[in-house]
Amino acid sequence: MMRRIDRELDLPSHIARRIKEKFKQIFNSVENLNQEKEKIKQVIQGLEDSSTQIREYLEKVKNEKIPSIEDRLTAIENDRQTVKDSLETISDAILQLNKRLMDLDSRLKEIEEKLASKT
């Protein structure tokens, strides 16, 4: 019985087929590894970008271009106190306006009573 010979590899066809399958598996593995390598490069690039941003931020904080958290909290507390004081002032103004309205109402009633008594 005569065995078939693979022309490409010049080997018996059953052996050549196994070798080709193994090479196909190896090439697929290499392709998968290259894809993973690209993903890892993207992750590394993202980490490097983040690291650069953090360094820039820390440099700004160090040079006091960005206020510290304590300074920010103090500013917020001061703003809160300013708002509270403004609300108290507005509340007082509203009370005074209500008092004036009540005075005007009482004066109007007096005028209406005088007019009603004259007629």
5's enclosing H/E stretch is strand 5-6
Better pLDDT: 51 or 71: 51
pLDDT greater than 60 at residue 44: yes
Is the pLDDT confidence value at 1 over 60?
no
Q: Phi first, then psi: what are they for 67, rounded to 5°? A: -65, 150
* CA atoms within 13 Å, Cβ hemisphere of 26: 6
pLDDT at 87: 92
Sort strands 11-12 and 5-6 into parallel, antiparallel or unpaired: antiparallel
d(CA 78, CA 91): 20
**Whole-number Cα distances in Å, 71 to 58, 68, 76, 82, 91:** 16, 5, 9, 16, 30
Percent of the chain predicted with pLDDT > 90 = 55
Residue 110 has pLDDT above 80, yes or no: yes
